[in-house]
Copies of this chain bind each other. A is one copy, B any other.
């Protein structure tokens, strides 16, 4: 069974994706979660900042697991990269471009205005980069280009969400996925091309 605390975090994550951190009031989060506002303060005595930190961490973990599951299921690294971008485009389409990265909007909002939430977003991105660097290396890429490719993958996926959501069109994600596949293929030792 989903606990009240989990419902609050889930509602907060959905609202952050839809309208960002500043645009999501505690009242709206309470309403969306079906919990009374007093319950929010009971579970998160630190208020919106504390709730946001936990929401970001939970979303960051879930998102990382999703991407890792895609790479686990793929027969090889290049196919895994392809599936990541295909999956991102599919999710955008089926959710009318609402369900994208749960961290990016808040990360941009707080980068220059809330040091403790900025640090939370930095930890999450660093965790993604490490996990993807390890996948790249496991797929046959050398350590230095592995970190570079992981960085490019996360950046271009995030930029892809931005362009697709603005345009309400998945064409940018298809173009970016194709470019990313080319980069990864080119970085594989020549016997694996």
Q: Which residues of A contact B (CB under 8 A)?
A: 17-23, 96-98, 104-105, 107-109, 111-113, 118, 121-122, 125-126, 147-149, 151-152, 154-163, 165-168, 172, 175-176, 178-180, 182-183, 186
Contacts and interface: CB of A to CB of B under 8 A. Distances in A.
Nearest to A113: B19
A31 B17 CA distance: 30
Contacts of A172: 151, 155
A172 B22 CA distance: 26
Nearest to A178: B148
A166 B112 contact: no
Q: Which of A107, A121, A166 has the most CB of B within 10 A?
A: A166
A167 B104 contact: no
Given A155-B176, A172-B155, A166 B20 contact: no
Q: Which of A148, A154, A163 has the most CB of B within 10 A?
A: A163
